[in-house]
Structure 1
């Protein structure tokens, strides 16, 4: 069991690194990674022009629990909105808008397939 968990953690880290590289290639500036508070965690906090982008990254290597995108529930997206507000409360600067994106990475046969859903909520 522990070995599977370690493998899942490694896959998640790999997925987050791929997401960071992808977002930077699209011109986003990464502000923070794996920000945590008592309410949860934001995988990636980025800046796109005057806008704040909160990014949930999901990575899957099998379809046994659905695709990566299918695993992001409406409740998770709601929680990300709350977390974005908590993070903003710790900042002295402001943003024109706040957006929640999802980056879903599926690795079922070799390479990762990346899907970026802008404004998931």
Structure 2
């Protein structure tokens, strides 16, 4: 793997760890990190009460850039992965679920945008 790619990968992992810590501080349990399925990937799977949040983590120089960094195509891949993940876990069949973003920017607290996307609306 080229050095540039390794650096980006390490930064991504660090951002995901920061986001997971932030969510834990907000009362979420982290069920999974860096989920890779044939249909897509999920950065974090978190649970709070009877709600599952599929969380995309983005780190950019500015928070607004991080919030805008997820394309509709990316959300669609995340949604396919979320459906597959939920399908493999019948114990969560009666839980609600949504798609969130945690945006990270230097010198700022993480920003958790709940219900950031819904299938069919974008």
| TM-score of the superposed pair, with normalisation by structure 1 | 0.84
- Higher normalized strand content (fraction of residues): 1
- CA, structure 1 residues 92+41, in 2 after alignment: closer, same or farther (shift >3 Å)? same
Which of 98, 111, 116 is the matching residue for 1:115? Answer: 111
Q: Which residue of 2 aligns with 1:99?
A: 98
| Unaligned 5+ runs, structure 2 | 118-122
Runs of 4+ in 1 over 4 A off after TM superposition: none
- What's the CA shift for 1:115? 1.9
Counterpart CA distance in 2 for 1:90 and 1:117 is 26
Let me know the Cα RMSD of the aligned residues: 2.1
Indicate the residue corresponding to 1:78 in structure 2.
Answer: 76
Q: TM-score, normalising length from structure 2?
A: 0.84
Q: Contact 2:60–2:104 at 8 Å: present in 1 too?
A: yes
* Contact map agreement 2:22 2:110 (CA 8 A) in 1: no
Name the structure 1 match of 2:120: none
* 1:15-34 to 2 correspondences below 5 Å: 15-34=15-34
**Partner-residue secondary structure (3-state), 2:73:** helix
Which whole-Å CA distance do the structure 2 matches of 1:60 and 1:117 have between them? 15
Count of residue pairs the alignment pairs up: 116
> 1:6 and 1:112 mapped to 2: Cα distance?
25
SS in structure 2 of the partner of residue 18 of structure 1: helix
Give the aligned partner of residue 37 of structure 2: 37
Gapped runs of 5+ residues in structure 1?
A: none
